[in-house]
Amino acid sequence: MADLYELGELFTSELAAVNAINDLNDLRVRYLGKKGLLTQKLKELGSLPPAEKPARGAALNDLKVKIQEGIAFKQAELTTSHANSTSLDLTLPGHNPLLGRRHPLMQVEERVKSIFRSMGFVVETGPEVETPYYNFTALNTPDWHPARDEADTFYLNDEYLLRTETSPVQIRVLERGQLPVRMIAPGRVYRKDKPDPSHFPVFHQVEGLYVDHGVTFADLKGTLLAFYRSLFGEETRIRFRPHFFPFTEPSAEVDVTCFLCGGAGCRVCKDKGWLEMGGSGMVDPKVLVGVNIDPEEWTGFAFGLGIERIAMLWYGVDDIRLFWENDMRFLKQF
């Protein structure tokens, strides 16, 4: 039965060379068609002596199954592999490319930046690894201030720390000695806070600073009112509560009327009608003197606000840690 073995080998090699459905059909006809190579052998079976028929018949049948299966496998291969397929199924759904998008915190930061840019503020940046001088001393933060404590601040060594606020960028810009200054500084800040729904050891702030001739608290009020109206809507009102910051005098915390209820009280503002948005004040003369600016000639205001705070209120996110998990199910919603 060497001839059947050879025919099987021939089929295997010819099948391997087939790359298109048309060629596969030709191959099928060549072996299994009316005058096919295997069909011929089957026809010859009738003229064999009876004693040889069963063994020869079984061998022929094995070969037939092998050829049929080989062709079926090849057919499946050719119709599922796109590269080699000559039959293109236009009814199959296409592959949707995964679209990336901006992180919600960066979306809020972009919005804040574009509003302040429209008011003539330029965007500045500063290092996240800072010195105690820029982070505290130049900002008039006394040696005994609790923020300097190792329990609250990430010190890398005696010389460097991770900035706890974006305020040091004020100092770096004022040091250049080019006045007037009208800037914002967005960026990451770090504090040794245990993660919980409202704390995370890294978060984002935007610092604002305007130093010029004759800048007053009224300018601060007007600027922040315009900003928050642009951010939350034209009905928004703001109020200032006296506070203390080492680098501003006087200092105030800024509240805005709740964007959802307009001040009536709801779940967003926890029935207070007001939302606490951040700190502000008039730049303390001591800070100006520290960077060789004459406080008799120049005055300024400063403010700081939190990106996470705005994003959580605006999007109704109740756990700050969600911003850092990078869970696609969360991020896809923005």
Query: Which residues of this protein are in contact with ligand DAH, per CB under 6 A?
Result: 165, 167, 207, 245, 248, 279-281, 302-304
Taking Cα atoms as reference points, which of 227, 209, 197 lies closest to residue 165?
Answer: 209
Minimum distance, C-beta of residue 290 to ligand DAH, in the bound complex (Å): 15
Minimum distance, C-beta of residue 97 to ligand DAH, in the bound complex (Å): 41
Minimum distance, C-beta of residue 247 to ligand DAH, in the bound complex (Å): 6
Which C-beta is closer to ligand DAH: that of 167 or that of 257? Answer: 167
Which C-beta is closer to ligand DAH: that of 41 or that of 163? Answer: 163
Question: What stretch of H or E contains 251?
Answer: strand 248-257
The span from the CA of 214 to the CA of 25, in Å, is 90
Minimum distance, C-beta of residue 304 to ligand DAH, in the bound complex (Å): 3
The span from the CA of 136 to the CA of 147, in Å, is 9
Minimum distance, C-beta of residue 306 to ligand DAH, in the bound complex (Å): 8
Minimum distance, C-beta of residue 152 to ligand DAH, in the bound complex (Å): 12
Which C-beta is closer to ligand DAH: that of 74 or that of 163? Answer: 163
Tokens of 130: 């800072």
Which C-beta is closer to ligand DAH: that of 186 or that of 279? Answer: 279
Which C-beta is closer to ligand DAH: that of 140 or that of 257? Answer: 140
The span from the CA of 57 to the CA of 74, in Å, is 26
Question: What stretch of H or E contains 280?
Answer: strand 274-283
Minimum distance, C-beta of residue 301 to ligand DAH, in the bound complex (Å): 7
DSSP strand pairing (129-130 vs 161-162): antiparallel
In angstroms, the Cα distances linking 263 to 33, 39, 222, 238, 301 are: 86, 90, 20, 11, 27
Which C-beta is closer to ligand DAH: that of 236 or that of 280? Answer: 280
CB 298 within 8 A of CB 290: no
CB 66 within 8 A of CB 74: no
Which C-beta is closer to ligand DAH: that of 231 or that of 287? Answer: 287
The span from the CA of 224 to the CA of 242, in Å, is 16
Minimum distance, C-beta of residue 242 to ligand DAH, in the bound complex (Å): 12
Q: Collect all residues with Cβ–Cβ distance below 8 Å to 33 and sequence separation of at least 6.
A: 39
Which C-beta is closer to ligand DAH: that of 231 or that of 283? Answer: 283
CB 211 within 8 A of CB 179: yes
